[in-house]
Amino acid sequence: MRVATERMGRVFVVRMDRTDKRNAVDAAMTAELSTALDQFEDDDDLWVGVLTGGPQVFSAGTDLIAGAGEPTERGGAYGVVRRARSKPLIAAVEGLALGGGMEMVLACDLVVAGRNAAFGLPEVSRGVVATCGALFRGPRALPLNIARELLLTGDRLSAERAERLGFVNALVEDGQTVTAAIALAERIVQNAPVAVRASLRALEEAVARDDEPGWVATRRAVDTVQGSEDLREGLTAFAEKRSPEWRGR
């Protein structure tokens, strides 16, 4: 099993558990994440979800060797990033959230992070582009120039800086993110679920109206790099554990 779940009253915790692979998402994890989040969405007794990883890494994104498998019908890539949810989902981040890992965080509604957590979109360092929403959700959740910085340099964003920029809702001591996320969830649970879901839906309709053009633009970016020598070199260099030698074509 690559995903574990736990019910805590009205709160549902979904934990990625493939720590030997830095919680990189393969086809099995995609399927298990989708099943867990389907369960969360379909159970009327569950009102708020928490998505988390391990103590050292939230997720390193797609397993570049095995691939992440096919998008699921209800959740899209990873079973998460194109999911139409009616209930709040909180990301509890310890350690690294990189590439698709950060894009899963961007697909959540609120973020709790440990002090040593870090976020990053290193796709360009492998000759690829962010495919799971970061090209348009990144500039929505962060100042535009910070999103550009992450997308163009591949550098990491510390949790402390992310909190100052308003991306992280709560910055807590390492090892305490799930506890803090559950506490935040419990604050939401105190409120009327119909009103919470209506508010969440209205917010999503307002901020996500440009999502479809964003997915189209992402598809164009993917098509641009798909057959490039740089893409082949980036993946080969990753597999061979060496620095890539870019050719710009």
In Å, how far are 72, 75, 148, 183, 199 from 35, measured between CA atoms? 9, 9, 33, 25, 25
> Which of 86, 62, 61, 63 lies closest to 74 in space, CA to CA?
86
Structure-block tokens of residue 13: 């915790």
Whether 103 is a known active-site residue: answer yes
CA distance 244 to 237: 5
Cβ-contact 120, 99 below 8 angstroms: yes
Catalytic residue among 123, 186, 212, 233: 123
Catalytic residue among 41, 94, 103, 163: 103
Q: Cα torsion at 10, 53, 118, 108 (round to 10°)?
A: -40
Burial class (CB in 10 A: 0-12, 13-18, 19+), 47: buried
Instruction: Please give the positions annotated as active site.
Output: 103, 123
